């Protein structure tokens, strides 16, 4: 019995160990399907909890020959798993949903040579407009020619008799088409709807019909009332009734000429007058703050690089210290180049002037001599150079050093600042947001597609209107108080960081983490030595590595790792998702990312299946141990049995710690009921000296 229980206990512990070792690895395979039966890419997710989610990737990221498939006429539609379930890129699926730990995804394509079943139908309703209630609907599958009015209106002859003469067709946003014109279904309004109405524009009894339209499907507002105008008569353009988010009304397009509300125009034919639009631009309002002067505004195009204006405001007894930019709550010197992305304010900041020391009064005969003028001699210049220290402009040393960028819109970043340690004095900071994986390097594209990157900006310097190619170094800071929250981390546990992606030959650090024969090691650039890492692990996916902090107590606050053979990623960690700002040093400018970095790798988190297995093992172990203890205790009890040779009567005499309710003792062929007694065995032996006695241990 004991041997059986020991074997059972060992088996359950082995089962629990096996569950811990193997339950947290999952395989995802991507098949190219009909585009290429031979291309298959397998990915493995290690050390993950079965309750976590896997994000389905795009085929362009998976397949090396994706561009060839597109050139061959294949258009990706969706993924399909081994059970026929459909997924789109970006969909998530829990690892516990994997069948036997595997998710097999096959690409489903729309072959241009075999898509007859997917033909799109475009419905066009031809309306008679003012001429009558007659209308006719036709269906097209591609670009089409505008119909002749007499082919769609049964009452067209009657319209002519009533004095209507057809001019053209007009869609809902003001595009006009003559009979036989080709209409492109990829253009508005077909690009927002599969249906449209073409309304007939007429000349009626010598009068010309005039319409007003917004010119875009995205504008809101009510069209001004159409009317019939007399030939060669002058009319006044109405006010603009439309709004178009992000754009400003630029005027009315009257037969090819842009005119303003209130302008006069002459009608010599049927007219469709369309609103025209321009970028609304952004305004930067300069304010004196606590100083004196009148606020003024300057308008720029959104995203334009501008130079902060020189201060023209004054405050008695104070010196101008810089402009406080409202969106980033940062003081920036005048003359600094910034990129303005939204309406903003620049408020003058002031510091108290420091009076000259009294001891210098005797050395300076007149206050004006401390400031050189055009007529000053070289001696006066020398005297000016020895002027009191407080006469030097406070912010002059900052001008070539601080470059700032104000960010607005749907991003968690509100501002970017660059502090230059060296480089050109007239440098301008150029910033562009990266939102498409196709427009950047492989590592940045992977971090964007994988959901690690919360925001990405490409930084560069410009000098005298040209790209700056010299060496420079400094610090980049991200201010995190933008118009959007930081997106949720794609991992169960993660830390926010600022990352700098750079070519390996531009890296100037002491060393970096890299993979070596499946292990993560620290590579020391000074002596070429390597040391296996316990604090950081690199996880490789499709040839690109990302960092995972496996020991938060010993992980450095900043680190670098080799993401592929030619690319290094530098990381500087924040204290958490509530971090207000992040900064990182640089020796070259390239993509900088607001990045989620997985920590602990979920290696300490066991899946529910593992916990069930461990629980079963522990429970069985406890039961087995209890059974062994019970057997041992039972066998240690003392049992005294006596048999009378004369009477054939058998009695059971219990030990002091036992109570026997009923029992039977067999002697020869007589079965005698026992008598229950609490009398100690010693006393019973004394009363029955003829009994034989034994003890069972």
* CATH number of the domain where residue 68 is located: 3.10.20
Nearest CA-CA partner of 426 in 459, 398, 474, 462: 462
Nearest CA-CA partner of 457 in 595, 304, 303, 590: 590
Distance CA 216, CA 607 (A): 54
Give yes or no: residues 305 and 399 share one domain.
yes
Q: Are 54 and 45 in contact (CB under 8 A)?
A: yes
- Whole-number pLDDT of residue 145: 92
Res 79 pLDDT > 50? yes
Distance CA 624, CA 11 (A): 12
What whole-number percentage of the chain has pLDDT above 70? 70
Domain boundary among 279, 305, 331: 279
> For residue 607, is it within any domain?
no
Distance CA 95, CA 42 (A): 15
Give yes or no: residues 185 and 265 share one domain.
yes
Structural domain count, the chain: 5
Q: Work out whether strand 670-673 and strand 664-667 pair parallel, antiparallel, or are unpaired.
A: antiparallel
Nearest CA-CA partner of 490 in 453, 442, 537: 453
> For residue 51, is it within any domain?
yes
Nearest CA-CA partner of 166 in 190, 130, 133: 130
Res 21 pLDDT > 50? no
SS3 letters across 179-210: CCCEECCCCCCCCCCCEEEEEEEEEECCEEEE
Give yes or no: residues 104 and 127 share one domain.
no
Domain boundary among 577, 602, 627: 602
Q: Are 135 and 128 in contact (CB under 8 A)?
A: yes
Which of the pair, 70 or 653, is modelled with greater confidence? Answer: 70
- Structure tokens of 186? 């990829």
- Report the range out of 205-219, 309-323, 572-586 with the highest average pLDDT: 309-323
Strands (DSSP E) contained in 525-590 are 530-532, 536-541, 544-549, 558-564, 567-573, 581-586
Distance CA 385, CA 369 (A): 11
3-class SS of residue 676: coil
> For residue 416, is it within any domain?
no
Give yes or no: residues 566 and 688 share one domain.
no
> For residue 528, is it within any domain?
yes
What whole-number percentage of the chain has pLDDT above 90? 21
Which of the pair, 311 or 23, is modelled with greater confidence? Answer: 311
Give yes or no: residues 268 and 288 share one domain.
no
Give yes or no: residues 206 and 256 share one domain.
yes
> For residue 624, is it within any domain?
no
- Whole-number pLDDT of residue 627: 67
Sign of the CA dihedral 584, 590, 593, 599?
A: negative
Give yes or no: residues 584 and 444 share one domain.
yes
- Whole-number pLDDT of residue 275: 94
- Structure tokens of 132? 């009558």
| Residue 523: strand pairing partners | 512, 530
**What mean pLDDT value characterizes the chain?**
75
Give yes or no: residues 240 and 295 share one domain.
no
How does residue 376 score in pLDDT terms, banded at 50, 70 and 90? very low
Distance CA 681, CA 642 (A): 10
Distance CA 465, CA 337 (A): 12
Count the helices and strands in the chain (H runs, E runs). Answer: 9, 48
How does residue 288 score in pLDDT terms, banded at 50, 70 and 90? very high
Give yes or no: residues 310 and 350 share one domain.
yes
- Whole-number pLDDT of residue 592: 92
Give yes or no: residues 319 and 451 share one domain.
no
Q: What is the mean pLDDT of residues 469-486?
A: 79
Total-model pTM: 0.38
Q: What Rg do the C-alpha atoms of the chain give, in angstroms?
A: 43
Res 463 pLDDT > 80? no
Nearest CA-CA partner of 95 in 24, 29, 43: 24
Res 337 pLDDT > 80? yes
Distance CA 248, CA 240 (A): 10
Residue with tokens 């209308």: 135
What range defines the domain where residue 138 resides? 123-279
User: What pLDDT, in 10s, does the model give residues 537-565?
Assistant: 999 888 899 999 988 888 888 999 999 98
- Whole-number pLDDT of residue 119: 62
- Report the range out of 71-85, 286-300, 591-605 with the highest average pLDDT: 286-300
> For residue 367, is it within any domain?
yes
- Structure tokens of 697? 């241990």
How does residue 492 score in pLDDT terms, banded at 50, 70 and 90? confident
Domain boundary among 264, 279, 294: 279
> For residue 214, is it within any domain?
yes
Res 430 pLDDT > 90? no
Instruction: Read off the DSSP letter of residue 4.
Output: H
Q: What is the mean pLDDT of residues 43-65?
A: 77
Nearest CA-CA partner of 544 in 459, 685, 437, 462: 437
Q: Are 198 and 137 in contact (CB under 8 A)?
A: no
> For residue 654, is it within any domain?
yes
Q: What is the mean pLDDT of residues 357-368?
A: 40
Give yes or no: residues 132 and 226 share one domain.
yes
Q: What is the mean pLDDT of residues 442-450?
A: 89
Nearest CA-CA partner of 255 in 272, 233, 236, 275: 272
Give yes or no: residues 397 and 274 share one domain.
no
């Amino acid at each position: 019995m004991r041997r059986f229980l020991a074997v059972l206990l060992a088996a359950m512990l082995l089962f629990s160990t096996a569950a811990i070792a193997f339950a947290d690895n999952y395989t995802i395979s991507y098949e190219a399907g009909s585009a290429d039966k031979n291309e298959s890419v397998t990915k493995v997710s290690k050390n993950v909890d079965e309750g976590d989610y896997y994000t389905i990737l795009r085929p362009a990221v998976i397949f090396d020959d994706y561009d060839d498939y597109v050139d061959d006429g294949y258009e990706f539609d969706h993924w399909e798993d081994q059970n026929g379930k459909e997924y789109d890129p970006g969909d998530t699926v829990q690892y516990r949903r994997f069948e036997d730990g595997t998710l097999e995804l096959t690409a489903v394509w729309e072959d241009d040579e075999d898509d007859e079943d997917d033909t799109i139908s475009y419905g066009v309703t031809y309306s008679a407009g003012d001429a009558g209630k007659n209308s006719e609907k036709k269906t097209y599958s591609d670009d089409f020619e505008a119909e002749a009015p007499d082919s769609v209106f049964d009452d067209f002859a009657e319209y002519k008799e009533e004095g209507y003469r057809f001019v053209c067709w007009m869609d809902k946003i003001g595009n006009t088409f003559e009979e036989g014109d080709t209409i492109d279904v990829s253009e508005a309004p077909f690009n927002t709807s599969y249906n449209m109405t073409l309304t007939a524009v007429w000349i009626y009894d010598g009068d010309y019909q005039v319409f007003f339209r917004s010119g875009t499907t995205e504008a809101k507002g009510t069209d001004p009332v159409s009317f019939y105008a007399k030939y060669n008569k002058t009319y006044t353009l109405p006010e603009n009734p439309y709004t178009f988010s992000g754009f400003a009304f630029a005027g009315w397009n009257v037969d090819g000429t842009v005119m303003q509300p209130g302008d006069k125009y002459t009608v010599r034919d049927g007219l469709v007058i369309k609103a025209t639009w321009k970028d609304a631009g952004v305004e930067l309002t300069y304010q004196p703050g606590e100083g004196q002067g009148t606020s003024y505004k300057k308008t720029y195009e959104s995203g334009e690089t501008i130079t902060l204006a020189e201060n023209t405001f004054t405050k008695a007894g104070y010196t101008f210290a810089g402009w406080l930019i409202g969106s980033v709550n940062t003081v920036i010197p005048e003359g600094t180049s910034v990129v303005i992305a939204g309406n903003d304010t620049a408020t003058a900041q002031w510091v108290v002037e420091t009076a000259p020391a009294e001891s210098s009064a005797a050395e300076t005969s007149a206050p004006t001599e401390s400031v050189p003028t055009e007529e000053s001699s070289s001696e006066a210049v020398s005297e000016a150079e020895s002027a009191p220290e407080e006469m030097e402009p406070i912010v002059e040393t900052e001008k070539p050093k601080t470059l700032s960028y104000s960010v607005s819109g749907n991003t968690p970043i509100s501002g970017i600042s660059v502090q230059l340690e060296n480089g050109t004095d007239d440098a301008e900071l150029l910033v562009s947001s990266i939102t498409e994986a196709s427009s950047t390097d492989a590592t940045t594209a992977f971090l964007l597609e994988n959901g690690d990157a919360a925001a990405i900006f490409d930084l560069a310097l410009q000098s005298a209107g040209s790209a700056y190619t010299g060496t420079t170094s400094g610090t980049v800071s991200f201010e995190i108080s933008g118009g959007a929250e930081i997106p949720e981390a794609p991992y169960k546990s993660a830390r926010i960081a600022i990352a700098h992606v750079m070519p390996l030959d531009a890296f100037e650090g002491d060393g970096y983490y890299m993979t070596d024969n499946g292990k993560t090691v620290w590579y020391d650039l000074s002596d070429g030595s390597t040391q296996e890492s316990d604090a950081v692990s690199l996880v490789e996916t499709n040839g690109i590595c990302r960092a995972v902090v496996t020991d938060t107590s010993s992980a450095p606050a900043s680190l670098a790792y080799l993401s592929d053979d030619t690319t290094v990623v530098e990381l500087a960690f924040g204290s958490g998702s509530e971090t207000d700002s992040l900064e990182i040093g640089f020796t070259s400018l390239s993509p900088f990312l607001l990045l989620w970095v997985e920590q602990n790798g979920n290696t300490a988190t066991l899946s529910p299946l593992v916990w069930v297995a461990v629980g079963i093992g522990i429970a069985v172990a406890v039961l087995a141990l209890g059974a062994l203890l019970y057997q041992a205790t039972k066998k240690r009890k003392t049992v005294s049995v006596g048999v009378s040779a004369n009477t054939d009567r058998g009695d059971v005499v219990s030990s002091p710690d036992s109570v026997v309710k009923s029992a039977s003792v067999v002697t020869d062929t007589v079965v005698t009921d026992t008598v229950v007694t609490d009398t100690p065995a010693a006393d019973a032996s004394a009363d029955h000296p003829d009994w034989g006695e034994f003890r069972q241990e």
